[in-house]
Amino acid sequence: MSQMMQDYIDEAEQALLHTYNRYQVVFERGEGVRLYDMDGREYLDFVSGIAVFALGYANKEYNDALKEQIDRIIHTSNYYYNKPAIEAAKGLKRISGMDRVFFTNSGAEAVEGAIKTARKYAFLKDGRTDHEIIAMEHSFHGRTMGALSVTGNPHYRAPFEPMIGNIRFAALNDLDSVKKQITDKTCAILFETVQGEGGLYPATEEFMRGVRALCDERGILMMLDEVQCGMGRTGEMFAWQRYGVKPDVMTTAKALGCGVPVGAFLMTEEVAAHSLEAGDHGTTYGGNPLACAAVCKVIELFDRMDVLENVRTVGAYLEKCLDELAAAYDCIRTRRGVGLMQGLVFDRPVGDIISAAMDKGLVLINAGADIIRFVPPLVITKEHVDEMISILRESINQVVIEGV
């Protein structure tokens, strides 16, 4: 590492609040599926900004669309209409099959909006303010107080208690556990269609259909968090589309803007007509012209580049390669995931393996102490998978076999 890059890292440690244990690298630019640090060293990126940069780095059409919008107008507030927001909402409705869109600045904000939607929807039905939401154990929905309240990991919640209250937790893919938590106060059931931070657990079709039936029977809202697993990562635009089990409310963010901070929560017309009204919810920056210009271009490029087909093809190849790797090493317990959202579960902490891979020019992240997560740009090729597997194999050998 050069002294210049070390100086920047030292300065960051003095200036930035220490809430992240960062890797010792300063990335300066990206191109395609590769990142470059201040010293010009190249890295194969299998993180994509935590499932954000779906189209890879330095996509000229994407960059040009943002530059053009910057020269027009960046922000006006939601007191006024803007053309990119209208076009982005239209595109998002088309790819999601939902009816109404509210743009936010992040996934956590989208979850906040979904929670408020559920409570207002229930309030308008019976006038009560004691409604409950059922969320899932091991889930992750964000760091704001509302999103944290429905995050099913006590470790994240404990230092910030009390939470917003009236939240119950059930087990993903265990319909009986959900049924046991339902009361006459239940207004919504919320879960990630594929759990990310919680260990790369996809919801099963049986569970999805079971929850949908429960919600229909009892007048409860089914709310799906697609912040990480949505926007093509599973081979469908949204993971629930694999089974055709449509939610009443859903959230999205991350790859929605491919780098520009933008999220959204969406709902059916029936929910929209009987929940949030003027004055109930708002945001200064949400849906600004710059962010929505990014959304418009992302949706256009997904269509034109046939990103979903690439995810299906390369995702299947990644699964095969990871399964072969798991079979070759006793330290790997199993593989989990869907499409280009995969995880390898180890019998030990994976931090040293990830660090060794970084030293060899491969960027990986974990999902819990014992899982390596693979969420690369959705434009990767089989050749990139081969390169990743080769470096990962070297890293496992170095850390686990050689003990270095």
Q: What average pLDDT does range 108-126 have in this prediction?
A: 98
Tokens 């569970």 belong to which residue? Answer: 207
- What tens digit of pLDDT does each residue of 332-382 get? 999 999 999 999 999 999 999 999 999 999 999 999 899 999 999 999 999
- What tens digit of pLDDT does each residue of 278-303 get? 999 999 999 999 999 999 999 999 99
Closest CA to 261 of 233, 285, 282, 238: 285
Q: Which residues contact 49 (CB under 8 A, 6 or more apart)?
A: 259
End-to-end CA distance of the chain: 20
- What tens digit of pLDDT does each residue of 230-285 get? 999 999 999 999 999 999 999 999 999 999 999 999 999 999 999 999 999 999 99
Closest CA to 44 of 380, 395, 397, 403: 380
Confidence of residue 403 (pLDDT cuts 50, 70, 90): confident
Rounded to two decimals, the pTM is 0.95
- What tens digit of pLDDT does each residue of 23-32 get? 999 999 999 9
- What tens digit of pLDDT does each residue of 145-192 get? 999 999 999 999 999 999 999 999 999 999 999 999 999 999 999 999
Q: Which two three-digit tokens encode residue 303?
A: 């269509």
Rounded distance between C-alpha atoms, residue 357 and residue 337, angstroms: 21
Tokens 């418009």 belong to which residue? Answer: 296
Q: Is residue 140 within 8 Å of residue 366, measured between CB atoms?
A: no
Q: Which residues contact 47 (CB under 8 A, 6 or more apart)?
A: 363, 364, 365, 375, 376
Tokens 């660090």 belong to which residue? Answer: 355
3-state secondary structure of 1: coil
Q: Is residue 117 within 8 Å of residue 271, measured between CB atoms?
A: yes
Rounded distance between C-alpha atoms, residue 204 and residue 196, angstroms: 15
pLDDT at 37 exceeding the cut of 70: yes
Compute the mean pLDDT over every residue in the chain, rounded to the nearest whole number: 97
Residue 1 is predicted with a pLDDT of 86
User: DSSP state, 32?
Assistant: B
Rounded distance between C-alpha atoms, residue 12 and residue 33, angstroms: 26
Percent of the chain clearing pLDDT 90 (strictly above): 97
Residue 402 is predicted with a pLDDT of 83
Domains of the chain: 3-58+306-401 (3.90.1150.10), 73-305 (3.40.640.10)
Rounded distance between C-alpha atoms, residue 404 and residue 398, angstroms: 6
Residue 404 is predicted with a pLDDT of 63
